[in-house]
Structure 1
Amino acid sequence: MRNSLYSVTLDEALTTVGGHGRYQIHLLIIISGIWMSQALFMMNLPYLLSDPNPNANCIDQDCCEEGFQFPEDSVTNAANEWKLFCGKEYKTTLISLAYFIGLGIGTYIISYLANRFGRKIMTITGLILTSVTLFICAASPSAEFFMAFSLVSGVFVGGTTMTSFIYVHEIVDGEYRNVFAGIIFAAWGFGMMLMSLINWIITQWRIHMIIIGTANILWVPFLFKFYESPRFLASNQGKYSKARYVINCIAQYNQKQPFTEMLEGEKVIGYQETNPRAIASESTSTSSKYSFVPISNGIVSVTESESKVVKRYSCIDLIKLNSLRKVFIVMSFLWFILSFSYYGVVFSIPHYIGNQQLNGTIMALAETLSCLSMAFVLNKIGRQLGFVINFGTAGVCCLMALAFINSSSSNSLIKSANHVIQLILLSLARFTIASVRLISYIYAVECFPTSVRSLVFGVLGLMSLLGSICCPLIIMLGGIIKIHPLFFIGLLLITGSFFSCLLVETLGKNMEDYVEEEKEEMRNPEPSVSIELPSNATSQSTKRKFEKLKEEN
């Protein structure tokens, strides 16, 4: 959709100046580094709260006596320091729960703020505050103090990961969007592997927190070299002159020709001779009520924000707007299933192979490879089919594993074979769910327009939080009613496969910037600025163009 004969969409504008050029690649490296750093704390929690010496004999409660020390080969972690194994095991659960609650809350709050104030500024703010809270965690005097700041840290980690993902994907063309997502998710997996290595080399948990905090704040100076998302500037704030300025800076960075077209959503108000010096500079004129921007064909545009109030959307609008309602409800349900099933499968896998560091490295490597492979396959099978296949495969694997778990045999060989098959099936389920997680981010970016995208991600984060909280409750319920939790997980995953069919395929389509109702207003705008032919316009072709544009407005 275009509001004028001469306007182009932001997708077309970014493609013109290099949709996957040097600028995008360099930003991808920074965002991948941010995701790697953010993964460190999440992977550190299991080590931080693990039993310091699972082989120790504490039956007589000797381990809990004042002054007791574990052997030198025991883990020097928070659980050891605060003796969380002496009738205080519930605190380890509460610390993990606090962190995940923080993730969900932060995803919503920071995503909402990013929808109002910008992707770049909220990513930088989130990184700084993440580092501050982690440094405070390193000085924690008690488990309760650590729990409180784990929640706060989760708030900034959840919001920063979501916002940074949107930030980089709003300037990448559709053909490479899945590749960028795969690399970012692979960086997350690499961060998990790196944390396993750090735990193996350094045993002091407070040093871990300082390292993680430092790793996050290191990326802040690099982010200042990049610009705000031009999609956000145009769609969320109506600052088309700034959006064009950023697009031309990207063009210069990518060594492309300057962008000289009119952006979708701008208003044509007249003609003048194009000033080449004005093309790559931001309009800062304060002498007029409007921001006059000379562009190609002698057109002069005025920014939408200065001719009308920019529409601000809320969570209620996601349900009220007909163009968003169905896809929003379906996507929310799928994100709930994804979070619920991922943690459910993790808890169900008999996954300790050797020691924790080896286990963490193997599983992180497997998920990393899964995300990378899906990133390159996704452009061939599409987003919707990727959802259907991976949700369905994960559900079938869970139900098949359940059949082998319930199988009873006295033959030791058969028991060993059953154990191996269970591990293979549940590992395959985990890998396919990891693929779904990758697709879900790309799908959400492409399904929802820029004007509500960050807001939608915030709500989807809350649905993920709900799923992660319900998971241990369902596992507990399964123990009470004697039904294995894999039964519920398998059914939900298969249900998710069917619900995926309700979504539309977005492969090969432009990323939308405005909701359909907003675009309808653009097609039938109310006249806000009178259009007059400049006195110095003598060309007959210019006059004909002007009359045509005047009829449009």
Structure 2
Amino acid sequence: MSGVGEILKAVGDFGLFQKRLVLLTVVPCFSVAFHQFCQLFMVPHLPHRCDTSWIRAVGPNLTEEEQLNLTLPRDVDGEFEQCSRYSPVDWDLGSIMEYGLNTTEKCIDGWVYPSAQPPSLLTEFDLVCDRRDLDDVSQAIYMLGLFLGCMIFGPLSDRIGRRPVVLISISLQALFGVGIAFVPHFYVYMAFRCVVGASVTGITMSMLALATEWIGVTSRPTAVLVSHCCFAIGQMILAGLSYGIRHWRLLQIAGSAPIFAFFFYTQVLPESPRWLVTKGRIEEAKKALQKAASTNKHTIPPELLEQLKPEGQTKSGSILDLFRKKHLLKVTLIMSCAWFVNSLVYYGLSLNVANFGLDIYLTQLAFGAVEIPARVGCIFILQRFGRKKPQAILMLLSGLVCLIISGIPEDQSVVITILAITGKFTASSAFSTSYVYTAELFPTVIRQTGVGLCSMAARVSGILAPLILLLGQYHRVIPMAIFGGVPMVGGLLCFLLPETQGTELADDIGDINHPEVHENANSTSEKGDMKGKGGQVNESTKTTYF
């Protein structure tokens, strides 16, 4: 439609300008990784017991052991109960020691934790006993923020542009990320985390669109997946940061404050020329492309720039277009399912890092480290085998690994952790493939809306993942059986998708209305007789058709 693809070839598919842009897109990935998984280290597993200091009023000289023996019941293993105590009585110490206490109650006066432990979310907000599920609920609330970010920032990015949404999201993440460190109540903490989650989605989706729409076909997967590698490095940094900073408020500040440095984006972050053209802002698109060409030390032929105009009036896309068009409907449903499955497995493993039996810091470090070869390897896989087959096979493998984990005895912590790392490898590769694949399947006018809708499906499963982990209270096999079974269905559905390797991005919905054009384009291009205006190859013959 617009000829932007041909001009980008003259600008340079992956020159200095695009490399700088990739650098700008990857830097926020470090903070995104922190916010995704920081809570895992803020709620450590600590021994706790009911506060029974009431007995000190009648027996001030009791030792701690005597106090506990008199005031705490024991479980079937002979250990002190952590969530109940004997009810206080108005007796003297002699009567208590002679007759003992029998009536039990919940920990009305709070809990006592090891005195040497630094403040954590668990100790400060008493996330134990009846409140222990608030940890997983809070993770679900954060995922809800990611979901709301998809609903808000996806369509907003298609309406006002990629650049403004990135800047808005960075501002929200900076303010609320640091603000979390000063919250007085856990429910305020959850509300702030929800906003941060929304900002994370705004950054990742709009950065993805910028990278996809500025970079040529051959280098596009490399650019997108480099940012995913930086996300993996961010997870490794989180492991070291959380190991060195055990105070949860200081850790929150250390992980959130650096985002303020990204406000220089207001001066250097470009807008997508494809988006500008779809909005009829041709002169702005020309200036952006000429600036990129100058940075790359290339020159755009004037006659090529003159062709930079929509063929007639470009109609803005809406979410309804994804369901009106038969081919877009199929892509939307299948890719939404793929994102749902990928997110379920990815977060099901990532949020369960503390329950695999090994040191949480080493496991997190391994989880981050394994993503780097997974993301880098995905670049070569996509270039060699396309998009469709890797997407399907990687999802099937991630599900298979989870099913195997569900059959391993609980005491085999090393084997379980190795399998979990393997599952994280395949899930990370599948997730990276989804990002590249989805951005190529949707046309520019509704690309962010389409990606946002698929991301919403991922966020729904992200909300469900920590809640599914709660089912482990009934049987440890249930969560992993769910995380393993669902990807099998999603992986098989992906075989129904079209292949997009080597195709130019579609700009308008009309570019994908005629599937037969793609077949004809392949044959006629070999004969060299399909030309557009000015002798240029018609860009519509290289768009993605279904």
Question: What's the TM-score bracket when you normalise by the shorter of the two chains?
Answer: 0.7 to 0.9
Residue equivalent to 1:248: 290
SS of corresponding position for 1:168: helix
Asked if residue 140 in structure 1 is aligned to residue 134 in structure 2, the reply is: no
Residue equivalent to 1:395: 399
CA deviations on 1:208-236 (whole Å, 9 max, x unpaired) are: 2223332222122045213211011012x
Residue equivalent to 1:41: 35
SS of corresponding position for 1:508: coil
SS of corresponding position for 2:27: helix
Partner Cα separation in structure 2 for residue 240 and residue 208 of structure 1: 46
Residue equivalent to 2:258: 215
Aligned counterpart in structure 2 of residue 70 of structure 1, from 110, 114, 119 = 114
Partner Cα separation in structure 1 for residue 326 and residue 220 of structure 2: 27
Aligned counterpart in structure 2 of residue 505 of structure 1, from 499, 502, 512 = 499
SS of corresponding position for 2:383: helix
Residue equivalent to 1:11: 5
Residue equivalent to 1:358: 362
Whether the 8 Å CA contact 2:172–2:195 is kept in 1: the answer is no
382-391 or 425-434, larger mean C-alpha shift: 425-434
User: 2:39 is matched by which residue type in structure 1?
Assistant: L
The aligned runs of 1:112-261 (5 Å cut-off) are 112-235=155-278, 237-261=279-303
Asked if residue 59 in structure 1 is aligned to residue 82 in structure 2, the reply is: yes
Residue equivalent to 1:412: none
Question: Structure 2 length as normaliser, TM-score?
Answer: 0.78
Whether the 8 Å CA contact 1:348–1:486 is kept in 2: the answer is no
Residue equivalent to 1:103: 146
Partner Cα separation in structure 1 for residue 505 and residue 49 of structure 2: 55
SS of corresponding position for 2:485: helix
Whether the 8 Å CA contact 1:244–1:259 is kept in 2: the answer is no
Query: Per the alignment, do residues 38 and 18 of structure 1 end up closer, same or farther by CA in structure 2, a change over 3 Å counting?
Result: same
User: 1:227 is matched by which residue type in structure 2?
Assistant: P
Partner Cα separation in structure 2 for residue 201 and residue 401 of structure 1: 31
User: 1:248 is matched by which residue type in structure 2?
Assistant: Q
The aligned runs of 1:334-353 (5 Å cut-off) are 334-346=338-350, 352=356
Give the number of aligned pairs: 467
Query: Per the alignment, do residues 383 and 75 of structure 1 end up closer, same or farther by CA in structure 2, a change over 3 Å counting?
Result: farther
Residue equivalent to 2:102: none
Query: Per the alignment, do residues 326 and 348 of structure 1 end up closer, same or farther by CA in structure 2, a change over 3 Å counting?
Result: same
Whether the 8 Å CA contact 1:52–1:77 is kept in 2: the answer is no
Query: Per the alignment, do residues 463 and 66 of structure 1 end up closer, same or farther by CA in structure 2, a change over 3 Å counting?
Result: closer
Whether the 8 Å CA contact 2:407–2:477 is kept in 1: the answer is no
* Per-residue deviation, 1:424: 3.5
User: 2:287 is matched by which residue type in structure 1?
Assistant: Y
User: 1:201 is matched by which residue type in structure 2?
Assistant: G
Partner Cα separation in structure 2 for residue 453 and residue 114 of structure 1: 9
Residue equivalent to 1:466: 460
The aligned runs of 1:486-501 (5 Å cut-off) are 486-501=480-495
Residue equivalent to 2:90: none
Q: Which runs of 5+ in 2 are unaligned?
A: 51-79, 86-106, 518-533, 535-546
* Per-residue deviation, 1:517: 5.9
Partner Cα separation in structure 2 for residue 500 and residue 104 of structure 1: 23
190-199 or 477-486, larger mean C-alpha shift: 477-486
Partner Cα separation in structure 2 for residue 205 and residue 154 of structure 1: 18
User: 2:114 is matched by which residue type in structure 1?
Assistant: F
Whether the 8 Å CA contact 1:239–1:303 is kept in 2: the answer is no
Partner Cα separation in structure 1 for residue 339 and residue 246 of structure 2: 36
Asked if residue 449 in structure 1 is aligned to residue 443 in structure 2, the reply is: yes
Asked if residue 370 in structure 1 is aligned to residue 374 in structure 2, the reply is: yes
Partner Cα separation in structure 2 for residue 234 and residue 198 of structure 1: 44
* Per-residue deviation, 1:153: 1.3
Partner Cα separation in structure 2 for residue 500 and residue 372 of structure 1: 22
Whether the 8 Å CA contact 1:323–1:515 is kept in 2: the answer is no
Asked if residue 311 in structure 1 is aligned to residue 354 in structure 2, the reply is: no
* Per-residue deviation, 1:518: 8.0
* Per-residue deviation, 1:186: 1.0
CA RMSD of aligned residues (A): 3.1
Query: Per the alignment, do residues 400 and 358 of structure 1 end up closer, same or farther by CA in structure 2, a change over 3 Å counting?
Result: closer
* Per-residue deviation, 1:484: 3.2
SS of corresponding position for 1:179: helix
Partner Cα separation in structure 2 for residue 350 and residue 89 of structure 1: 14
Whether the 8 Å CA contact 1:53–1:75 is kept in 2: the answer is no
* Per-residue deviation, 1:28: 1.0
Q: Which runs of 5+ in 1 are unaligned?
A: 3-7, 264-294, 296-300, 407-414, 524-544, 546-553
* Per-residue deviation, 1:428: 1.9
Whether the 8 Å CA contact 1:106–1:156 is kept in 2: the answer is yes
Residue equivalent to 2:428: 434
* Per-residue deviation, 1:333: 1.2
Partner Cα separation in structure 2 for residue 396 and residue 38 of structure 1: 28
User: 1:212 is matched by which residue type in structure 2?
Assistant: G
Partner Cα separation in structure 2 for residue 152 and residue 339 of structure 1: 20
Partner Cα separation in structure 2 for residue 88 and residue 17 of structure 1: 58
User: 1:445 is matched by which residue type in structure 2?
Assistant: A
SS of corresponding position for 2:218: helix
464-473 or 311-320, larger mean C-alpha shift: 464-473
* Per-residue deviation, 1:446: 0.7
User: 1:511 is matched by which residue type in structure 2?
Assistant: L
User: 1:507 is matched by which residue type in structure 2?
Assistant: Q
Partner Cα separation in structure 1 for residue 49 and residue 395 of structure 2: 39
Query: Per the alignment, do residues 481 and 146 of structure 1 end up closer, same or farther by CA in structure 2, a change over 3 Å counting?
Result: closer
SS of corresponding position for 2:44: coil
153-162 or 81-90, larger mean C-alpha shift: 81-90
User: 1:46 is matched by which residue type in structure 2?
Assistant: L
Query: Per the alignment, do residues 519 and 217 of structure 1 end up closer, same or farther by CA in structure 2, a change over 3 Å counting?
Result: farther
Whether the 8 Å CA contact 1:31–1:184 is kept in 2: the answer is yes
Query: Per the alignment, do residues 59 and 399 of structure 1 end up closer, same or farther by CA in structure 2, a change over 3 Å counting?
Result: closer
Asked if residue 320 in structure 1 is aligned to residue 324 in structure 2, the reply is: yes
SS of corresponding position for 1:209: helix
Query: Per the alignment, do residues 121 and 211 of structure 1 end up closer, same or farther by CA in structure 2, a change over 3 Å counting?
Result: same
CA deviations on 1:20-43 (whole Å, 9 max, x unpaired) are: 111111111121111112211222
Residue equivalent to 1:386: 390
Partner Cα separation in structure 2 for residue 205 and residue 95 of structure 1: 15
